[in-house]
A and B are shown apart, each in its own frame.
Chain A
Amino acid sequence: MKRNEPLINLFGLILIILLAVLVYLALTDSGQGLTMLSADLEQRVSYSYLLKNVTAAGQTENQHGQAEVILGREDYENGAVNIVTAIVTDYRMLDTFGEILVLFAASAGVGLLMVERKRGKAKEASEIVKTAVPIIILFTLITGFYIISHGHLTPGGGFPGGAVIASAFILQFLAFQKSSRNKVFKILESLAGIGLLAMGLIGLYLEGSLFANFLPNGSLGATISAAGIMIIYALIGIKVAAELSSISADFIGE
């Protein structure tokens, strides 16, 4: 096994160089250099996401007939200032829902396939760790809730906020070695999933398309605005936090 290693490395290197040459040829196919780079933003679909005029009902124009977005107005397709949030939770929510399903399947698979530990429990944490961890957990939870609740205004949202909250629970597991709360996580996860599906179905019933935005937008840019996006991101945050915590509990626990 050992003696073949340089040969395998050489073979891999040759394959990689071939692939690099092929990719370079494919990118410069049209004779104008790298054509992918020269695409104009106005020709991309994101242009209407940025102007919030994807559907005909969402057209908002000034008196010259040109699309524009003004902070403080209410009649847009969604009330998110952060366009990435608008895409994740409104325009392409079906993608996000599928991603949530993949996350659920992976978490269930980890719970099903995890082998049990052979040896007994790990060493107990020291007194300093046990005293400091509750305070750190408090600040971590505050940060996580802040990131989730400001997802429509600032960078962040349900995915990183859920991960931060999950890291608070992981700290608790590591300090106190209590990972038996797994059932609570499973219930929270299921409730958040049902809530997301319910949001989608209510949108389908009221507006005619799955995951349509049916709640009031509020004034664009205000702290409390975009009710639908806030609810969806809160549900995503709960689901991601519960799933990542239960995966980590499976890895840490017996």
Chain B
Amino acid sequence: METMLFILSAFSLILTGLFGVLTRKNLVKILLSLNILETGINLLVVSLGYFKGGKAPILTNSVSAAQGINFVDPLPQALVLTSIVIGLSTTALALTLILKHFRSHQAVEFVKLEVNE
């Protein structure tokens, strides 16, 4: 049930971000929507490893397979850890591109290219 709620909130964020990417015109708003989408996907991937009653994947006592191992799945967490840092660097690159676009077109929206005849 808890995993279900986590997945639902992650999906609501993903769909909101996708809606923003599809409908907004301001490039900064589109980038913010992409960041919301990314947050939602991170939440989704981590929530796939969660189950009720699991402990954090840090060994504080000795564990053995005979007594059963009761940890949350650590692999999605490790993947999301790197994905957050990549998200920051790509956001920085996209912001630089937006600044460049504003210098040349004087607009933060997509503009129609006009060909001189």
Contact = CB atoms under 8 A, between A and B. Distances in A.
- Contact-residue size bin, chain B (C-beta under 8 Å from the other chain): 35 or more
B90 to A, nearest CB: 6
A84 B57 CA distance: 7
A206 interface: no
B22 A15 contact: yes
B82 A49 contact: no
Contact of B58 (A69, A106, A155): A155
B75 interface: yes
Contact of B82 (A47, A64, A88, A113): A88
A70 B66 CA distance: 13
Interface in A60-84: 62, 64, 66-71, 81-84
A45 B57 CA distance: 14
A180 interface: no
A67 B56 CA distance: 20
Interface residues of A, number: 62
A102 B84 CA distance: 12
Nearest to A112: B96
B66 A64 contact: yes
A20 B11 contact: yes
A252 to B, nearest CB: 12
A49 B89 contact: no
B82 A96 contact: yes
A221 B58 CA distance: 10
A44 B75 contact: yes
B78 A87 contact: yes
Contacts of A83: 57-59, 71, 74
Nearest to A221: B59
Given A102-B90, A107-B92, 13 more contacts: A12-B22, A42-B69, A49-B74, A62-B66, A66-B64, A69-B63, A71-B61, A83-B71, A83-B74, A106-B86, A113-B96, A115-B103, A154-B58
Interface of A: 1, 8-9, 11-13, 15-16, 19-20, 23, 34, 36-37, 41-42, 44-47, 49-51, 62, 64, 66-71, 81-84, 87-88, 92, 95-96, 99, 102-103, 106-107, 109-110, 113-115, 154-155, 157, 159, 220-221, 240, 243-244, 247, 250-251
